[in-house]
Amino acid sequence: MVTIRQLLIFLLVTQLTSACPEKCFCNSKIVDCRSIALQSVPRDLDPDTETLFLDENSLIRIPPNAFKNLQNLSYFGLSSNHLLLQNYTFELLLKLRALDLSGNHLLELQADLFGNLPNLTWLNLANSNLKILHGGSLRPLAKLTYLDLSNNELTLLEETFKHSPQLDTLFLNDNQLKELPATIFDRLFLLEVLDLSNNEMSSLPPQFFRNQHKLTDLRLDHNRLKNLTATLFAHQRNVQYLTISRNSIASFSPQLFDNLTRLSKLDLSNNSLTHLPDNFLSSLGELQMLNLSDNFIGQLVVDIFRYNPKLAYLHLDSNNLSSLPVFEGLPQLEELTLSFNRLVGFPRGFADNLVMLKCLQVTDNLIRQWDTGVFRNIATVLLKNNPICLTEVESAPVQSTNIDCRKKHC
């Protein structure tokens, strides 16, 4: 005999699955049709659907009014298809807040493509073969806060972001950008994250970021930058993460980082630096990680880190250092890497101030002898590929101390 409970369960399951397209998974107000080789948009989708995944299929064109019944849709995933979108494709999706169009073949956006998406705040257009982005394309999206345009071949115009004043996160990395209009970001007062990495820019206009007072994360790595004007970061007091690695910077002004008083991570690795300006770190009292690896630095001044009491990770690998000073002002330093230099030894008292140092990595140098007293406060000293580790006579005592001739990385 069928109980009332069994009947209710049957009716509930029937209701949940009746509007679920074949091969899709439906749960409450979520419809998941990812990776099922769809060539057309499923019909009879539940009007109460709030989240719809059509990613990783073979969709090319979307017929008019295909989503007219989905007026409650909030998130829509259409990534990794072969879409060529027309105006009014997203007509009547007035509640849509997030749209993923990444991994398609959009080439150029129609002027009114987003004309009926007044509440969209999150838009992913990465890896979509976009060539040009007009300001009019984004005009209807006045509430947009997140925009990913990475991995395209974009040409950006002065008015591209003119109508996007709410943007706080913008990805422009991997676009082969050679230059940008000097005022392109002038209206983006709320920008917090900006990624310009993996492009081909050789210079940036002075005062380029003058209106981005809220920036916290700025990525300029993997470009062709040679010179950075002294005032480039003059208004970035809130930046916490700054990466300028893999460029061609040979020198910079001592005042370049003066206003970055909240900076926590600075990456200047893989450049052409031969020396470091005196006191260039004097304003960076919050700095916790500094990467200067893969440059041509030949010497460090004695008190270069005295203003950085919170520095925990310092990387100086692959430079031209043949000697080191006794470091001052690094009571929180936990990891110091100095591999692939020309070091022959350490000064007496080198680690006296490094009371928190857990790992000293000096592999691939020219060290022939050591003073165990220098390293008494350090948990691990890595010396692989140094002459000291190749001497059979020294092998026994080396292995019995905190010095390790086998391990290469902290």
Contact 195, 220 (CB under 8 A): no
| 289 phi and psi angles, rounded to 5 deg | -135, 130
List the structure tokens of 368.
Answer: 């022939």
Instruction: Please state, in angstroms and rounded to a whole number, the distance separating the CA atoms of residues 403 and 173.
Output: 42
C-alpha 120: how far from chain center: 23
**Within 13 A of 118's CA, how many CA atoms are on the CB side?**
3
Residue 29 confidence (pLDDT): 95
Per-residue pLDDT, 16: 45
> Strands 30-32, 25-27: parallel, antiparallel or unpaired by DSSP?
antiparallel
Q: Which of 362, 410, 409 shows the shortest CA–CA distance to 389?
A: 362
Can you tell me whether residue 332 is helix, strand or coil?
coil
Q: Find the angle CA(348)-CA(317)-CA(368) to the nearest 5 degrees.
A: 45
pLDDT of residue 18: 54
Whether residue 147 contacts residue 121, with contact meaning beta carbons closer than 8 Å, is answered with no
- The rounded distance, in Å, linking the Cα atoms of 243 and 401 is 37
Query: How many Å apart are CA 188 and CA 209, to the nearest integer?
Result: 10
Give the CA angle between residues 14, 19, 25 to the nearest 5°.
90
- DSSP per residue, 300-319: --TTTTTT-TT--EEE--SS
- Residue 89: its pLDDT value, please? 85
Domains of the chain, with CATH numbers? 21-200 (3.80.10.10), 224-297 (3.80.10.10), 299-410 (3.80.10.10)
Copy the structure tokens of residue 113.
């493509």
Query: Residue 399: enclosing H or E segment and its boundaries?
Result: helix 392-399
Q: What is the pLDDT along the chain (410 residues), one digit of tens a residue?
A: 444 444 334 434 444 445 799 999 999 899 999 999 999 999 889 999 999 999 999 999 888 888 989 999 999 999 999 998 887 788 889 999 999 999 998 888 888 889 889 999 999 999 999 998 877 889 999 999 999 999 999 988 899 999 999 999 999 999 999 999 999 999 999 999 999 999 999 999 888 999 999 999 999 999 999 999 999 999 999 999 999 999 999 999 999 999 999 999 999 999 999 999 989 999 999 999 999 999 999 999 888 999 999 999 999 999 999 999 988 889 999 999 999 999 999 888 888 888 899 999 999 999 988 777 777 778 899 999 999 988 644 444 455 478 888 888 88
What three-state secondary structure class fits 26?
A: strand
Q: What is the pLDDT of residue 390?
A: 81
pTM of the entire structure? 0.91
